[in-house]
Amino acid sequence: EWRALYYALCKFNQLNRTGIEWKAWGPQADEIIYSYPDTSPYYFITLYVFLDVFAKVCAPTARKIERFKGDTPVEWESLMKKLEAVAGGNEYAQHNRITVKQFMEMKRHWNKHIGVPRDIHAALADFLPGMCNIFRIRKCAVMQEYDRKLTEFGAEPVGQGLPDVAPDNAPRGELLAQAVLFAGDGSHKLGMVKSAAELPRVREKLAVAKRILGFDVLDLCVNGPPEKLESLEYNGVAMYMAGWAAYEKFLYEEADNARRVGAIAGIEVGEYVALSVAGIIPFEVGLELVHARGKAMQEASLLIPDQAVCSVAGLAEERVDQLCQLAKASSGLEKDVCQIATALFPKGYVVGGRSKTINAFHDLAMEEKALQVKVMQQKAIHTPLMHPVQWAIKAKLREHRHKIQVPWCDVYFNGNGSFYLPACGGDYKEPLVEVEFALNRFLCETCWSPLRWELVMLTMLENKITHFIECGPSQQLKKLLKRISKEAFENTICITV
C-alpha cells in the first residue's frame, strides 16, 4: 500500500509541478494558491509522505535527513514547525493554506538551514508541498491511480476513485415546458432539510456529504449554530444540500414530472445544484465545487474585510451604473469597487463593493428618490473583490474534467442570462466541448461579475417555459418572479424542505 501510494503521488507530482501551476495562474504574492478541506484518512500520510516513504526510497537523501536531524535537532524541530504552520499541521487540520509569499519564505528557510538545491532542500521544497496540494485538488484522480497501482501490486483496490452517488440514466421521455429553480446564498433557515432527511436518496447524499466534508451537514442545517450556517464557508454546502433534498422530495412525490422538466437554473450556489441535477456533474463534484467556492470566498473576505452591499429598487440600470461611478469617484480610493452585483428583477438590483463606497452610493440613491435603498453588511459577491475565487473553481473543474457530461435538459447560467446549454447537446457538433467551455467561463466569471437572474427568467419565458418549480428552504425565487412576470408567478409552485 505504501509503494502504491508513493508511485501514485510521484506520478501526479511530475504532471502537476507547482511552479507550472503558478505560472499558468499568475497569482500575486499574497494570493492563496490552495485552500481546500481534507478530512480523509490519507491526510497524515500525504503530509509526511516524504519523510516516511521518499526518504526510504532515496538512500542518499535519507542519510542527509538523518544527519541533519541528528546534528541540528533544534533547527530540525524549527523547520518542522514551519512546515506544519504552512501546510496544515496534523490529521485533523481543516484546510491547507499556501500563498506564494509563504512558500518562498519556506524555501528560503530551507536554503539557510539545509543546503543547496537538489539535496534535501530541493526534495522538500518540490515534493512535499506539491504532494499536499495535489492530493487536495485532485484527490479523486490520485485515488484512481492509487487503486490501479494497488491492483498491479496484487492488493485489493479501495474504490476511492469511483462515483459516490450513482447517476440516474434511465429513459426520461418527452421533456415538459416546466423549469426547476434552485435558491441561492442567504435563503437558508434553521431546521431546513429535516423534513426530507428520511428519504432514502437524501440519506445517501447526506452520508456522502459527511464523508467528503468531514462534518454532518444535516446537523448544520437543523441545529446551526446560526452564525455558522450564515457564514460564507458553510452556507453554500448547506444550501446545496437543501436544494438537492427539495428536488429529491419532488422526485419522490412526482417522479414523472421531476424527471422530465425541460429546463433547470439556480441562483448563486443554486446554480451548482442545477448543474448536478441536470447530470453535467455528479453530486459529489458539485459538493466539492461549492465547498471550495465557500472557503475561497471566506478567505477573500478576510483579505478585504470592509465589504458591503446595497439593495436598490426603482432606478433604471443605466442610472444605477452612473451612481456607482459617482460613488467610486467620491471615495478617494485609487482602485475602489462599486458595481451592480445582481440584477434580480426590472429596476431591482444589489450593488456591492467596499463599505465606504457603498455608503456613498446609498446616499446618492436616496437623493435620486429610489423606491427602496438598504445597506447590508454582507460580502460583495459577484464583484471584483471576489476575483480570486475563480481559481478555486477552475482547479476543481480541472480535477474532475473527466466526469463532465452533456445535460439531459436545458441548463441556464447566471453569468450570461441569455445563454443556455441545450438538452442532450442540441445541434452542437462537439457538445461536451461546449459544456466544458460554459462551465469554465460562466462559473468563474460569475464570481466577480454581475449575476443576471432577471435575464435568465426572461429567456426561459421566451423559450416557452410556462410552469416553474422552486426547490429550496424558502420561496425566494417565486417572490422575485412576481416582479418579472405575474403569469409565471401564478404558475409557480414551491417544494420546501
What's the rounded Cα separation, in Å, for the pair 79 and 382?
40
pLDDT in tens, 69-126: 777 778 767 666 655 554 444 333 333 444 445 545 555 554 555 443 333 334 444 4
pLDDT recorded at residue 10? 53
What is the three-class DSSP state of 297?
A: helix
pLDDT recorded at residue 318? 96
- pLDDT, the chain, mean: 78
Long-range contact pairs involving 223-232 (C-beta distance under 8 Å, separation at least 24): 223/190, 224/190, 226/190, 229/188, 229/190, 230/186, 230/188, 231/298, 232/294, 232/297, 232/298, 232/301, 232/379
Instruction: Kindly state the cell numbers that stand for 353.
Output: 463593493
Judged against a pLDDT cut of 60, whether residue 32 lies above it is answered with no
pLDDT recorded at residue 394? 86
Q: Lowest mean pLDDT of 16-25, 263-272, 407-416, name the range.
A: 16-25
Judged against a pLDDT cut of 80, whether residue 281 lies above it is answered with yes
Percent of the chain with pLDDT over 90: 55
Q: Which secondary structure element, helix H or strand E, spans residue 398, and what is its range? A: helix 389-399
Q: What are the C-alpha distances in Å from 282 to residues 85, 167, 285, 325, 420?
A: 34, 7, 5, 41, 19
pLDDT in tens, 309-326: 999 999 999 999 999 999
Q: What is the 3-state secondary structure (H, E, C) of 418-465?
A: CCEECHHHCCCCCHHHHHHHHHHHHHHHHHHCCEEHHHHHHHHHHCCC
Look at strands 338-345 and 451-452 and give their pairing.
parallel
Instruction: Kindly state the cell numbers that stand for 376.
Output: 447590508
pLDDT recorded at residue 401? 82
Judged against a pLDDT cut of 70, whether residue 19 lies above it is answered with no
* pLDDT band at 145; cut points 50, 70, 90: low
Domains and CATH numbers, the chain: 47-128 (no CATH), 178-301+386-496 (3.40.366.10), 306-378 (3.30.70.250)
What's the rounded Cα separation, in Å, for the pair 207 and 244?
13
What's the rounded Cα separation, in Å, for the pair 434 and 444?
15
Percent of the chain with pLDDT over 70: 69
Q: Lowest mean pLDDT of 183-187, 363-367, 388-392, 432-436, name the range.
A: 388-392
What's the rounded Cα separation, in Å, for the pair 299 and 305?
10
* pLDDT band at 332; cut points 50, 70, 90: confident
Question: Which residue type does 396 have?
Answer: K
Burial 208-227 (b: 16+ CB within 10 A, else e): bbeebbebebbebbeebeee
pLDDT in tens, 214-250: 899 999 999 989 999 999 999 999 999 999 999 999 9
pLDDT in tens, 444-483: 999 999 999 999 999 999 999 999 999 999 999 999 999 9
pLDDT recorded at residue 175? 96
Mean pLDDT of 391-400: 83
pLDDT recorded at residue 395? 79
pLDDT in tens, 359-373: 999 999 999 999 999
pLDDT recorded at residue 21? 35
pLDDT in tens, 379-395: 999 999 998 898 889 87
What is the three-class DSSP state of 14?
A: helix
pLDDT in tens, 41-78: 333 333 334 343 344 433 444 455 566 677 777 876 76
